[in-house]
Amino acid sequence: MLKPQNGPTRELVSLDGLFAFKVDSDNAGLREGWQNARLDTALEMAVPASYNDVFADKAIRDHVGWVWYEREVRVPRGWVGERVWLRFESATHGAKAFVDGVLVAEHQGGYTPFEADITEHVSPGGAFRLTVAVNNELTQATIPPGNITETDDGRRQQQYMHDFYNYAGIHRSISLYSTPAVYVEDVVVTTGFEGDPGAAGTGTIATGTVDYAVVVAGETAGLLPVRVRVLNASGAEVAAADGISGTVAIPDVELWQPGKGYLYSLVVEVVDLDGQVVDSYAQTFGVRTVEVRGTEFLINGEPFYFTGFGMHEDHVTIGKGHSHAQMVNDFSLLEWVGANSFRTSHYPYSEEVMDYADRHGIVVIDETPAVGLNADFAGFFSTGAKKTYGPEFVSDETAAAHRQVIAELVARDKNHPSVVIWSIANEPQSSEQGAREYFEPLARLTRELDPTRPIGFVNVMFDGPDKDIITDLFDVIMLNRYYGWYLNTGDLASAEKALEAELLAWTEKHGKPMIMTEYGADTMPGLHSLYEQPWSEEYQSAFLDMYHRVFDRVPAMVGEHVWNFADFATSNGIMRVDGNKKGAFTRDRRPKAAAHALRRRWAPLNNKK
């Protein structure tokens, strides 16, 4: 699904701001038809933001079920004859949107966009009542999965198998936009190059190849010609072609590279028989290649070494709500610390984040929200499930939701040059009978949807090389390891041996590139210890140093992503004090000693080990 944009034939109006807000404490709103009248409430809520921490009200924070948003929207009077679209960048985890009481859109899945053509329900110059019911429930049929229980006194409680807090609400922008009746519905761009990019700047320069495919929708779509133009970053035309699909060449191409996010734009135009532009959509892209060769991970044919973090969209007050200022600050800290990449643990991040990464040459491992498909965590997160793959936990319904999140992620992010790996799950059970039957079709689906990018899943510490039965289905090995924290707590000498032995065993068994996608120790900022005691800032730094010594000794290691970029909110539990404290930065983005240590290691590496 294309990101909406302003352009010569399209207009975009942001609907962000304050909405009337009502918590559906008895889950009665749909039955009583709350969409049919103004919401009876004094509360107001901001979009975008999670609602949980905004009100000083425990009942709202702990609510399980529906909440309702409402505002009046006016359609620009100039949109006569245009299609009018209502688009949500996300609503967590499920939503129903109503225009003057009529259901126009429904979506399940908290981190991907959905939209509706509402032309027939609205009139240019007129106003309508937009009502959005948003549901935060996680069940066996959702990704991520969860389980709802009821207390003796009738309170519903949400259980889930991941540690980050279940923030909910409208986390990203809502927009109203127009397109012509015949419009560009989708664009796919894949790139390559011929020649020697390494020689760029020394005389021999590569030629870029851009394969494109356009989908045009609307009644007369098939009859109208399509043409494309490639503009460079200064807006000059460097290539052009006719037709809904084809290949164009960019002479003397400027590659998209880690640290240097050079972007072109493919301007797609649908024209009428007089040559007048009917619709125009500008899709940015970067020319780059990604490839796994032996134990190497290559970007533009050059070995690439990932430095950075698993992150979270998580901030004080706004929770998982997108904020431009917080985003720029987070990217600025990534640059400061010498990170060249991050993983969108454990769900797709805002499209604004992806665009920013494209523009700034930050490499992304793009992850679906499939986190917690693992009954082995029952002890930690108390869902009580004994077996992962079976009707009680990861069922056919779960698999269907998993296929949907993969399809929606690839549909949304396929044109981002920053995305170099699809991560289709975090820490699923990968040793139990049933894991292979579950994952083989998902791996195949991901490759069918995008044959150009390597795929992987993130392996959990319980399912090492001796037990795992699915890693051969993937291109890269991504490991979360906590030797020295959950195992060998406080004993870095034993942890170092165990870690090295395991990494060598993976290499021997699979011979694929490996990325440590999580390693970290909870750390209380300001706690110091002469003896490298767990929870102290000294221990966190010593822990990371130990991992780095090992990585430097294992040739198949192609990357290190510390867990986590910053401290983040979690659900209640005896494992966490005011959230997960494995951040290199605190939740309000102050550096712990480890952040300085990482900066000393990463700045000189410059994408190589």
> Which residues make beta-bridge pairs with 103?
98
Active-site residue, 194 included: no
Active-site residue, 427 included: yes
Residue with Cβ nearer ligand GCB (285 or 457): 457
Interaction residues for ligand GCB, span 317-356 (CB under 6 A) = 346
Strand order in the sheet with 183-194: 183-194, 207-217, 245-250
Min. distance of Cβ 538 from ligand GCB in angstroms?
Answer: 19
Give the separation between CA 99 and CA 72, rounded to whole angstroms: 10
Alpha carbon of residue 229 to chain centroid? 29
> Which residues make beta-bridge pairs with 21?
69
In this structure, what token pair is assigned to residue 302? 């050059």
Min. distance of Cβ 585 from ligand GCB in angstroms?
Answer: 15
Min. distance of Cβ 547 from ligand GCB in angstroms?
Answer: 15
Please enumerate in sequence order all residues whose Cβ is within 8 A of that of 169, keeping only pairs 6 or more positions apart, or say none. 45, 47, 49, 50, 51, 52, 67, 91, 92, 134, 136, 319, 321
297: left (phi over 0), alpha (psi -120 to 50) or beta: beta
Min. distance of Cβ 175 from ligand GCB in angstroms?
Answer: 31
Contact 515/503 with Cβ under 8 angstroms? no
Residue with Cβ nearer ligand GCB (50 or 480): 480
Residue with Cβ nearer ligand GCB (389 or 519): 519
Contact 248/231 with Cβ under 8 angstroms? no
Residue with Cβ nearer ligand GCB (171 or 582): 582
Show the DSSP H helices in 214-345 as ranges.
Answer: 324-337
Contact 301/289 with Cβ under 8 angstroms? yes
Residue from 10, 22, 87, 162 in contact with ligand GCB (CB under 6 A) = 162
Residue from 163, 254, 367, 432 in contact with ligand GCB (CB under 6 A) = 163
Task: Compute how many residues bind ligand GCB; rule: CB under 6 A.
Answer: 10
Among the listed residues 89, 518, 537, 560, the single catalytic one is: 518
Alpha carbon of residue 291 to chain centroid? 21
Min. distance of Cβ 304 from ligand GCB in angstroms?
Answer: 23
Residue with Cβ nearer ligand GCB (280 or 541): 541
Spell out, one character per residue from 106 to 145, where the chain touches ligand GCB: x when CB under 6 A holds, - when not: ----------------------------------------
Residue with Cβ nearer ligand GCB (161 or 184): 161
CA distances from 29 to 37, 53, 128 (A): 11, 23, 20
Residue with Cβ nearer ligand GCB (129 or 402): 402
Min. distance of Cβ 428 from ligand GCB in angstroms?
Answer: 11
Residue from 518, 537, 560, 567 in contact with ligand GCB (CB under 6 A) = 518
553: left (phi over 0), alpha (psi -120 to 50) or beta: alpha
Interaction residues for ligand GCB, span 472-491 (CB under 6 A) = 480
Residue from 142, 147, 426, 459 in contact with ligand GCB (CB under 6 A) = 426
Looking only at the bridges linking them, the beta strands covering 455-459 and 419-426 are: parallel
374 binds ligand GCB (CB under 6 A): no
Residue from 580, 591, 592, 597 in contact with ligand GCB (CB under 6 A) = 580
Residue with Cβ nearer ligand GCB (246 or 490): 490
Min. distance of Cβ 72 from ligand GCB in angstroms?
Answer: 40
Judged on CB neighbours under 10 Å (0-12, 13-18, 19+), 508 is exposed
> Which residues make beta-bridge pairs with 44?
20
Min. distance of Cβ 310 from ligand GCB in angstroms?
Answer: 7
Residue whose tokens read 């519903």 = 156
Spell out, one character per residue from 549 to 568, where the chain touches ligand GCB: x when CB under 6 A holds, - when not: --------------x-----
Among the listed residues 70, 269, 427, 560, the single catalytic one is: 427
Residue from 269, 427, 463, 567 in contact with ligand GCB (CB under 6 A) = 427
Residue from 582, 587, 589, 592 in contact with ligand GCB (CB under 6 A) = 582
Min. distance of Cβ 518 from ligand GCB in angstroms?
Answer: 5
Residue with Cβ nearer ligand GCB (48 or 579): 579
29: left (phi over 0), alpha (psi -120 to 50) or beta: alpha
Contact 10/178 with Cβ under 8 angstroms? yes
List the one residue out of 39, 179, 30, 46 whose CA is nearest residue 118. 179
Q: Which residues are part of the catalytic machinery?
A: 427, 518
Interacting residue ranges for ligand GCB, rule: CB under 6 A: 162-163, 346, 426-427, 480, 518, 563, 580, 582
